[in-house]
Amino acid sequence: MLSILRKARLKDKELRILMLGLDNAGKTTIVKKIMNEDVNTVSPTLGFIIKTIDFHGYKLNIWDVGGQKTIRSYWRNYFEKTDALIWVVDATDKLRIDDCKAELKGLLQEERLAGASLLVFLNKTDVAGGMDEQEVTRVLELERILTHRWVVVSCSAMTGKNLETGLDWVVQDARDRLFLY
């Protein structure tokens, strides 16, 4: 039933994207860069921000939800009708990678996120000494994920590097899964 509803909605070429990750991973900066807004004035997101963009003929509704520890328990309020989950990882934050892994693992067990595409944006790869895609894939145990189609894309929210590549994958995966035209 859920997939039938998704297919009906997606005939309008509209996707609901939930962007989550630990605080300071760069979620809001990514959204601002995608929207061509100033990325030099970003403050922590307390609650959520919704931005809609037209992307290659699709309407992407991006829900950017704050990642502070005190807010994470409210994430479940945003799961309904999610077509894709963008999980943002700070490539330079090796100290909290285990927290990052635990939060992602919990999200992927949520029934309301079942079937959603998973894009892992490995952000801040323009900063020296950060983790690479292989290390993050290994540490987050992504290869064990059998419930979601996933990909890791290295990016930089500040420069915009690979942001479009990641969104391209999200749209293509939704097309493949949900029979979009």
Q: Which residues are annotated as a binding site for GTP?
A: 21-28, 67, 123-126
**Catalytic annotation present for 134:** no
Cβ atoms of 58 and 15 within 8 Å: the answer is yes
What element of type H or E holds 162?
none
Residue 125 CB partners (closer than 8 Å, separation 6+):
91, 132, 154, 155, 156, 161
Q: What is the DSSP letter of 160?
A: -
* 141 HSE (CA, 13 A, CB side): 12
Residues in the chain: 181
Question: Binding-site residues for Mg(2+), please?
Answer: 28, 45
- From 68, 109, 134, 172, active-site residue: 68
The residues that are catalytic are: 68
